[in-house]
Amino acid sequence: MDFTFFMVPLSVINDGQRISDSEGSCIEIAGKKMYRLHVIGSVYTMDFKEETGSGYLVLDDTFSSILVHFEKQSFRMVERINKGDFVEVLGSIDIYNENVTLSLNNIISIGLDRYCYNKVQSILNLKDINGK
C-alpha cells in the first residue's frame, strides 16, 4: 500500500528508520511507513544533464536538506525551476548507500506566502506523526 505524507519537515527523513520491503523503499517513524513525501524547501543547488534529460537538485528547508533526482520524463517540470526558488516537491523515497533521496514525481514553484503557510503546516503534521 502506498502512503504519502503531506507537508513534513525534511528532518523527518533523516530521523526515520530506512526500510525496503515488498512495497518499495520507505522510512518508518512512530510505526508509520512513508513511501512518498510531499515537502517544501528552497532549491539549494541543481545539476542538469540535457543530453540524458536527467539530473538532481538539493532541496533545503532550513532544518535539513535532501537530494531529489529525476529522469528524462520529469525534465520539463524541472527546467523552469531556478536555484533559490521556493518549491513544493512530491517524491517517492529511494534508499541508496543508507542515504534517503527522493525520486521526483512532481514539482512546482511557489511564492513566499505559500512557503510560509506550508512550513507551519509541516511542523503541525510532525506533531500528528509523532502522536503529540
Mean pLDDT rounded to a whole number for the chain:
84
Q: Is the pLDDT of residue 1 over 50?
A: no
Query: How many domains does one find in the chain?
Result: 1
Q: Is the pLDDT of residue 107 over 70?
A: yes
CA distance linking residue 11 with residue 44, whole number of Å: 16
Region 91-118: mean pLDDT is 89
Task: Look up the CATH number of the domain holding residue 63.
Answer: 2.40.50.140
Alpha carbon distances (Å) from 10 to 15, 50, 67, 75:
9, 28, 11, 23
The predicted structure's pLDDT at residue 4 = 65
What is the span of the domain harbouring residue 99?
4-130
Compare 11 and 82 and report the one with higher pLDDT.
82
The predicted structure's pLDDT at residue 125 = 78
